[in-house]
Amino acid sequence: MRLAFLGTPAMAVAPLRALVDAGHDVALVVSRPDAKRGRGGTLTPSPVKVAALELGLPVTDVVDDVLTLDPPAELGVVVAFGRIIKPHVLAALPMVNLHFSLLPRWRGAAPVERALLAGDEVTGVDLMAVEEGLDTGGVYREAQVAIGPDTTADELRSELVAAGTTLLVEALAEGLGEPVPQVGEPTYAAKIEPAELRIDWDRPAAEVHRLVRLGGAWTTHAGKRLKVWRTRLGPDGPLELLEVQPEGKGRMPFRDWANGARFDPAADGLGS
Protein backbone atom coordinates (compact mmCIF):
# COMPACT_ATOMS: atom_id res chain seq x y z
CA MET A 1 0.00 0.00 0.00
CA ARG A 2 1.20 3.51 -0.81
CA LEU A 3 1.33 5.47 2.45
CA ALA A 4 2.13 8.82 3.97
CA PHE A 5 3.49 8.61 7.52
CA LEU A 6 3.13 11.41 10.05
CA GLY A 7 5.04 11.16 13.33
CA THR A 8 7.60 12.87 15.52
CA PRO A 9 9.06 11.24 18.69
CA ALA A 10 11.02 8.05 19.26
CA MET A 11 7.86 6.05 20.00
CA ALA A 12 6.79 6.54 16.35
CA VAL A 13 9.97 5.06 14.90
CA ALA A 14 9.12 1.37 15.39
CA PRO A 15 5.78 1.62 13.51
CA LEU A 16 7.51 3.44 10.63
CA ARG A 17 10.22 0.81 10.34
CA ALA A 18 7.64 -1.99 10.59
CA LEU A 19 5.63 -0.55 7.70
CA VAL A 20 8.72 -0.44 5.51
CA ASP A 21 9.71 -3.98 6.56
CA ALA A 22 6.20 -5.18 5.69
CA GLY A 23 6.69 -3.97 2.13
CA HIS A 24 4.53 -0.86 2.15
CA ASP A 25 5.51 2.04 -0.09
CA VAL A 26 6.02 4.90 2.36
CA ALA A 27 5.96 7.71 -0.20
CA LEU A 28 6.46 10.56 2.26
CA VAL A 29 7.23 11.09 5.94
CA VAL A 30 5.98 14.24 7.67
CA SER A 31 7.57 15.31 10.96
CA ARG A 32 8.13 18.49 12.92
CA PRO A 33 10.69 21.05 11.74
CA ASP A 34 14.19 20.64 13.13
CA ALA A 35 14.29 22.11 16.65
CA LYS A 36 17.05 24.02 18.42
CA ARG A 37 18.71 22.03 21.17
CA GLY A 38 21.35 22.83 23.75
CA ARG A 39 23.16 26.02 24.55
CA GLY A 40 24.52 26.39 21.05
CA GLY A 41 21.08 26.25 19.50
CA THR A 42 22.04 23.42 17.15
CA LEU A 43 19.18 22.36 14.91
CA THR A 44 18.24 18.75 15.68
CA PRO A 45 15.88 16.58 13.60
CA SER A 46 13.11 14.58 15.22
CA PRO A 47 13.67 10.85 15.85
CA VAL A 48 11.20 10.05 13.07
CA LYS A 49 13.06 12.26 10.58
CA VAL A 50 16.35 10.60 11.52
CA ALA A 51 14.84 7.14 10.97
CA ALA A 52 13.23 8.17 7.69
CA LEU A 53 16.50 9.46 6.30
CA GLU A 54 18.24 6.25 7.37
CA LEU A 55 15.56 4.33 5.46
CA GLY A 56 16.01 6.51 2.39
CA LEU A 57 12.51 7.99 2.63
CA PRO A 58 11.60 11.55 1.60
CA VAL A 59 10.84 13.83 4.56
CA THR A 60 9.00 17.12 4.92
CA ASP A 61 7.67 19.28 7.72
CA VAL A 62 4.73 20.57 5.64
CA VAL A 63 1.56 18.54 6.16
CA ASP A 64 -0.01 19.68 2.87
CA ASP A 65 2.82 17.97 0.97
CA VAL A 66 0.93 14.68 1.39
CA LEU A 67 -1.57 16.06 -1.15
CA THR A 68 1.04 16.58 -3.86
CA LEU A 69 2.21 12.97 -4.14
CA ASP A 70 2.08 11.51 -7.64
CA PRO A 71 0.77 8.87 -7.63
CA PRO A 72 -1.24 9.84 -4.55
CA ALA A 73 -1.03 8.03 -1.22
CA GLU A 74 -3.86 5.66 -0.41
CA LEU A 75 -3.71 6.20 3.36
CA GLY A 76 -2.04 8.38 5.95
CA VAL A 77 -0.68 6.73 9.10
CA VAL A 78 -0.36 9.00 12.14
CA VAL A 79 1.67 8.06 15.23
CA ALA A 80 2.32 10.66 17.96
CA PHE A 81 2.51 13.43 15.37
CA GLY A 82 1.68 16.21 17.83
CA ARG A 83 0.36 18.66 15.23
CA ILE A 84 -3.09 19.57 13.95
CA ILE A 85 -4.07 18.02 10.63
CA LYS A 86 -6.42 20.45 8.90
CA PRO A 87 -9.84 19.45 7.53
CA HIS A 88 -8.92 19.90 3.85
CA VAL A 89 -6.12 17.34 4.25
CA LEU A 90 -8.41 14.84 5.99
CA ALA A 91 -11.00 15.35 3.25
CA ALA A 92 -8.46 14.43 0.58
CA LEU A 93 -6.58 11.58 2.29
CA PRO A 94 -8.08 9.07 4.74
CA MET A 95 -5.92 8.63 7.82
CA VAL A 96 -5.58 6.24 10.73
CA ASN A 97 -3.94 6.98 14.05
CA LEU A 98 -2.32 4.79 16.68
CA HIS A 99 -3.65 6.23 19.94
CA PHE A 100 -2.18 4.89 23.17
CA SER A 101 -5.28 4.42 25.31
CA LEU A 102 -8.60 2.58 25.26
CA LEU A 103 -10.86 5.23 23.78
CA PRO A 104 -12.85 7.19 24.72
CA ARG A 105 -10.79 7.12 27.93
CA TRP A 106 -7.82 9.47 27.77
CA ARG A 107 -8.32 11.36 24.56
CA GLY A 108 -5.61 13.94 24.05
CA ALA A 109 -1.90 14.60 24.38
CA ALA A 110 -0.75 12.50 27.35
CA PRO A 111 -2.79 9.29 27.54
CA VAL A 112 0.06 7.12 28.85
CA GLU A 113 0.93 9.49 31.65
CA ARG A 114 -2.67 10.16 32.68
CA ALA A 115 -3.54 6.46 32.80
CA LEU A 116 -0.59 5.83 35.09
CA LEU A 117 -1.32 8.83 37.32
CA ALA A 118 -4.95 7.81 37.68
CA GLY A 119 -3.99 4.36 38.90
CA ASP A 120 -5.54 2.56 35.92
CA GLU A 121 -4.74 -1.14 35.99
CA VAL A 122 -5.36 -1.61 32.26
CA THR A 123 -4.81 0.63 29.26
CA GLY A 124 -4.16 -0.17 25.63
CA VAL A 125 -3.74 1.06 22.08
CA ASP A 126 -6.40 1.80 19.48
CA LEU A 127 -6.06 1.99 15.72
CA MET A 128 -8.61 4.67 14.97
CA ALA A 129 -9.90 6.81 12.14
CA VAL A 130 -8.65 10.40 12.18
CA GLU A 131 -11.41 13.02 12.29
CA GLU A 132 -11.49 16.75 12.92
CA GLY A 133 -12.43 16.17 16.58
CA LEU A 134 -9.86 15.35 19.25
CA ASP A 135 -9.46 11.54 19.09
CA THR A 136 -13.16 11.09 18.32
CA GLY A 137 -12.88 8.71 15.36
CA GLY A 138 -14.14 5.17 15.22
CA VAL A 139 -11.85 2.30 16.24
CA TYR A 140 -10.64 -0.35 13.78
CA ARG A 141 -8.71 -2.49 16.22
CA GLU A 142 -7.73 -2.48 19.87
CA ALA A 143 -5.21 -4.21 22.15
CA GLN A 144 -5.19 -4.10 25.94
CA VAL A 145 -2.03 -3.76 28.05
CA ALA A 146 -1.86 -4.26 31.82
CA ILE A 147 -0.23 -1.62 34.03
CA GLY A 148 1.78 -3.24 36.81
CA PRO A 149 2.11 -1.65 40.26
CA ASP A 150 5.69 -0.57 39.51
CA THR A 151 5.49 -0.08 35.73
CA THR A 152 7.11 3.18 34.67
CA ALA A 153 5.83 5.44 31.93
CA ASP A 154 8.79 4.50 29.73
CA GLU A 155 8.15 0.79 30.23
CA LEU A 156 4.44 1.19 29.55
CA ARG A 157 5.11 3.27 26.47
CA SER A 158 7.41 0.57 25.08
CA GLU A 159 4.77 -2.12 25.62
CA LEU A 160 2.11 0.00 23.96
CA VAL A 161 4.31 0.78 20.97
CA ALA A 162 5.05 -2.93 20.46
CA ALA A 163 1.36 -3.83 20.67
CA GLY A 164 0.36 -0.93 18.44
CA THR A 165 2.95 -1.75 15.80
CA THR A 166 1.65 -5.31 15.53
CA LEU A 167 -1.92 -4.01 15.43
CA LEU A 168 -1.12 -1.60 12.60
CA VAL A 169 0.77 -4.03 10.40
CA GLU A 170 -1.84 -6.77 10.80
CA ALA A 171 -4.71 -4.39 10.09
CA LEU A 172 -3.17 -3.16 6.85
CA ALA A 173 -2.38 -6.73 5.78
CA GLU A 174 -5.89 -8.00 6.48
CA GLY A 175 -7.85 -4.87 5.53
CA LEU A 176 -9.12 -2.13 7.83
CA GLY A 177 -12.83 -2.87 7.50
CA GLU A 178 -15.25 -0.45 9.11
CA PRO A 179 -14.42 1.42 12.32
CA VAL A 180 -16.59 0.92 15.39
CA PRO A 181 -17.87 4.12 17.07
CA GLN A 182 -16.47 4.85 20.51
CA VAL A 183 -18.78 4.06 23.42
CA GLY A 184 -18.62 5.52 26.91
CA GLU A 185 -17.89 8.74 28.73
CA PRO A 186 -14.77 10.48 27.38
CA THR A 187 -11.94 11.54 29.66
CA TYR A 188 -9.18 13.86 28.55
CA ALA A 189 -5.43 13.55 28.90
CA ALA A 190 -4.02 17.04 29.14
CA LYS A 191 -0.30 17.52 28.66
CA ILE A 192 1.72 17.10 31.86
CA GLU A 193 2.82 20.52 33.07
CA PRO A 194 6.19 20.86 34.84
CA ALA A 195 4.54 22.00 38.07
CA GLU A 196 2.62 18.71 38.25
CA LEU A 197 5.90 16.82 38.64
CA ARG A 198 6.66 18.48 41.98
CA ILE A 199 6.07 15.96 44.76
CA ASP A 200 3.53 16.87 47.41
CA TRP A 201 4.56 14.78 50.41
CA ASP A 202 1.13 15.26 51.96
CA ARG A 203 -0.41 13.11 49.22
CA PRO A 204 -0.91 9.36 49.80
CA ALA A 205 2.18 7.23 49.23
CA ALA A 206 0.51 5.41 46.30
CA GLU A 207 -0.03 8.71 44.48
CA VAL A 208 3.56 9.81 45.02
CA HIS A 209 4.78 6.43 43.74
CA ARG A 210 2.71 6.85 40.57
CA LEU A 211 4.10 10.34 40.03
CA VAL A 212 7.68 9.11 40.37
CA ARG A 213 6.98 6.41 37.79
CA LEU A 214 6.23 9.12 35.22
CA GLY A 215 9.89 10.19 35.27
CA GLY A 216 11.18 13.61 36.25
CA ALA A 217 9.38 13.95 39.59
CA TRP A 218 11.17 16.35 41.91
CA THR A 219 11.27 17.79 45.37
CA THR A 220 13.65 20.11 47.22
CA HIS A 221 16.18 19.75 50.00
CA ALA A 222 17.95 22.68 51.61
CA GLY A 223 16.55 24.91 48.89
CA LYS A 224 17.93 22.85 46.00
CA ARG A 225 16.05 20.66 43.57
CA LEU A 226 16.25 16.89 44.06
CA LYS A 227 14.83 14.60 41.40
CA VAL A 228 13.34 11.31 42.57
CA TRP A 229 13.70 8.56 39.98
CA ARG A 230 12.71 5.37 41.78
CA THR A 231 10.61 4.51 44.80
CA ARG A 232 9.23 1.34 46.34
CA LEU A 233 5.73 1.05 47.77
CA GLY A 234 5.49 -1.54 50.52
CA PRO A 235 2.24 -3.37 51.31
CA ASP A 236 1.75 -1.51 54.59
CA GLY A 237 4.73 0.75 55.23
CA PRO A 238 5.68 4.19 53.94
CA LEU A 239 7.16 4.96 50.55
CA GLU A 240 10.83 4.02 50.25
CA LEU A 241 13.12 6.21 48.14
CA LEU A 242 15.56 4.21 46.03
CA GLU A 243 17.20 6.52 43.49
CA VAL A 244 17.58 10.31 43.39
CA GLN A 245 19.47 12.98 41.49
CA PRO A 246 20.76 16.07 43.28
CA GLU A 247 20.90 19.33 41.40
CA GLY A 248 23.89 19.43 39.04
CA LYS A 249 24.84 15.78 39.62
CA GLY A 250 24.06 12.34 38.26
CA ARG A 251 21.57 9.77 39.49
CA MET A 252 22.57 7.82 42.58
CA PRO A 253 21.13 5.49 45.24
CA PHE A 254 19.12 7.42 47.80
CA ARG A 255 21.20 6.04 50.68
CA ASP A 256 24.42 7.33 49.11
CA TRP A 257 22.92 10.78 48.66
CA ALA A 258 21.45 10.81 52.17
CA ASN A 259 24.78 9.90 53.72
CA GLY A 260 26.65 12.53 51.75
CA ALA A 261 24.04 15.20 52.42
CA ARG A 262 23.78 14.24 56.10
CA PHE A 263 20.07 13.97 55.52
CA ASP A 264 18.00 13.80 58.71
CA PRO A 265 14.32 13.19 57.88
CA ALA A 266 13.30 14.26 61.36
CA ALA A 267 15.16 17.55 61.24
CA ASP A 268 15.16 18.62 57.57
CA GLY A 269 12.72 16.58 55.57
CA LEU A 270 12.26 16.70 51.82
CA GLY A 271 10.29 19.55 50.32
CA SER A 272 12.20 22.13 52.34
Domains and CATH numbers, the chain: 2-99+127-184 (3.40.50.170), 194-261 (3.10.25.10)
Instruction: Evaluate whether 130 touches 97 at the Cβ level (below 8 Å).
Output: yes
14-111-231 Cα angle (round to 5): 90
For each of the chain's 272 residues, which pLDDT tens digit applies? Answer: 999 999 999 999 999 999 999 999 999 999 999 988 777 778 999 999 999 999 999 999 999 999 999 999 999 999 999 998 999 999 999 999 999 999 999 999 999 999 999 999 999 999 999 999 999 999 999 999 999 999 999 999 999 999 999 999 999 999 999 999 999 999 999 999 999 999 999 999 999 999 999 999 999 998 899 999 999 998 887 899 999 999 999 999 999 999 988 887 766 678 87
Distance (Å, whole) CA 9 – CA 79: 9
pTM comes to 0.93
